[in-house]
Amino acid sequence: MKNPLRDLFRLFFPPTCAVCGRVLPEEGELLCTTCRWEMPLTGFARQADNPVARKFYGHLPLDAASSYYYFVHGSGFRDLIHRFKYQGGWAIAQKLGAWYGAELKESGLYGGIDLVVPIPLHWLRRLQRGYNQSEYLARGIASALGVPVESHSVVRRVYNVSQTHRTKDERWENVHGIFAVRHPERLVGRRLLLVDDVLTTGATLISCGETILRAVPDCRLSIATLAVARGELRSGMEY
Ligand SMILES: [Zn+2]
């Protein structure tokens, strides 16, 4: 059906690729075919033993762990994550989550997941940003897996400043005890998929996972992060 108003809008504001900025032929697409093809995927979702899973060995008992793509400095795919954090790009987060979720579903390693749990923001941070980007990632993943999102059971009690300029030691110190479980009864006996946007040291995910296992010892955990910094996979976990 023709919609002259929409055609006119498209003429002035055509949909563009979120990575390279080229005009897209179709409405509702996120990336052009070239960028989709060039996405630096890890393929870890299909491997039980992979560098992301190994990063958590000895620190947090997990059924499975993976990241969807490599966080490459200076690439458009790095900017993509900045966009959904700081420019209201929750729709991008949800779309990427759905792509990742399709891969997780296909792998078979994540088939038993009951609930998808986004790493929570402090309520004040959430208020400032307007939303939690990991929650939209979690929604995309959960829809692909056909399971619900649980975003009210785990909370971040402490408002901490950015981790970016901290040393490794300070980062570990900084996340210790910052999470709390408000509704353990909702998690009892469940297999949870913890979702975060970028995996760097893993300190935040470990802190959150430890808190959950202490409150609900009989639940099981897996981890999925959208991106992983390649440099963080070389040396394993360091205290
Ligand atoms: Zn593109």
162: Cβ–Cβ under 8 A, 6 or more apart, which residues? none
Q: Rounded to the nearest whole angstrom, what is the distance from the C-alpha of residue 77 to the centroid of ligand 1?
A: 10
pLDDT over 50 at 127, yes or no = yes
Kindly report, residue by residue over 4-25, the tens digit of the pLDDT: 777 776 677 788 888 898 998 8
Nearest to 129, CA basis, from 181, 83, 67? 83
Q: Rounded to the nearest whole angstrom, what is the distance from the C-alpha of residue 54 to the centroid of ligand 1?
A: 32
DSSP structural state of residue 121: P
Q: Rounded to the nearest whole angstrom, what is the distance from the C-alpha of residue 21 to the centroid of ligand 1?
A: 6
Average per-residue pLDDT in the chain?
A: 88
Average pLDDT over residues 144-148: 97
Kindly report, residue by residue over 197-209, the tens digit of the pLDDT: 999 889 999 999 9
Query: How would residue 87 be classed by pLDDT, with cut points 50, 70 and 90?
Result: low
Q: Rounded to the nearest whole angstrom, what is the distance from the C-alpha of residue 36 to the centroid of ligand 1?
A: 7
Average pLDDT over residues 117-145: 92
Q: Rounded to the nearest whole angstrom, what is the distance from the C-alpha of residue 47 to the centroid of ligand 1?
A: 28
Would you state the structure tokens that stand for residue 27, as one six-digit string? 């409405």
Domain boundaries, the chain: 10-39, 40-233
Strand partners, 191: 220
What dotted CATH number matches 40-233? Answer: 3.40.50.2020
